[in-house]
Amino acid sequence: MRFLFYDRILEMEPGKHARAEKLVTLADEYFPEHYPRRPVMPGTLIMESLSQLAGWLNIVSWEFKADTVMVLVEGVRIHRQVRPGDLMTLETWMLYTHPDGSTIRGEVRSDKEIIAAVDRVVFANRKVTDEREIQRKREVFRYYSGDFPL
């Protein structure tokens, strides 16, 4: 089972920007337990969706030659609830890279309304040199991105 909280990646510009989307539906597994009479996407999962996209922007920016871990999330704001039927647009921007990782910011919108934002997501990387592992990461990205061409 995949635990992805976006449907597909629409844009990926390594070192700069990524955009993805998620159509929130009643079929999402968390709704029966999260307010069955008034389904709301948990705020933690909204931020998880943004973090997943930020993680891919980090890995792609390092040309798949990194194992990564998220080490800091700072300045999270959730402005409104997300309900079934909302189409979330997720965007992340690379603020800067550092020798062992990256710092990224992001927003979640529905139409033009900002639903949530994060000021900084910091990733720490460990370099990967095994070509088979790098190729495997590219294949995993292709699958998880909705076959986004890089």
How confident is the model over 10-37, as pLDDT tens digits?
999 999 999 999 999 988 877 777 677 8
The values of phi and psi at residue 114, to 5°, are: -75, 125
Of 17, 34, 79, 98, the active-site residue reads 34
When divided into structural domains, the chain yields a total of: 1
Mean pLDDT over all residues of the chain?
Answer: 93
pLDDT in tens, 89-146: 999 999 999 999 999 999 999 998 999 999 999 999 999 999 999 999 999 999 999 8
Q: Indicate whether 71 pLDDT > 60.
A: yes
pTM metric for this prediction:
0.93
51 in a structural domain: yes
Task: Say if residues 48 and 30 touch (Cβ distance below 8 Å).
Answer: no
Asked whether residue 40 is assigned to any structural domain, the reply reads yes
Q: What is the pLDDT of residue 34?
A: 67
Q: Which helix (H) or strand (E) segment is 20 a member of?
A: strand 17-23
Query: What are the tokens at 98?
Result: 């550092």
Number of neighbours of residue 54 by Cβ within 10 angstroms? 28
| 34 classed as catalytic | yes
The pLDDT, as a whole number, for residue 57 is 97
Q: Residue 48 belongs to a domain with what CATH number?
A: 3.10.129.10
Q: Is residue 49 part of a domain?
A: yes
In a domain, 150, yes or no: no
**pLDDT at position 1:** 44
**Residue 24 domain boundaries:** 8-144
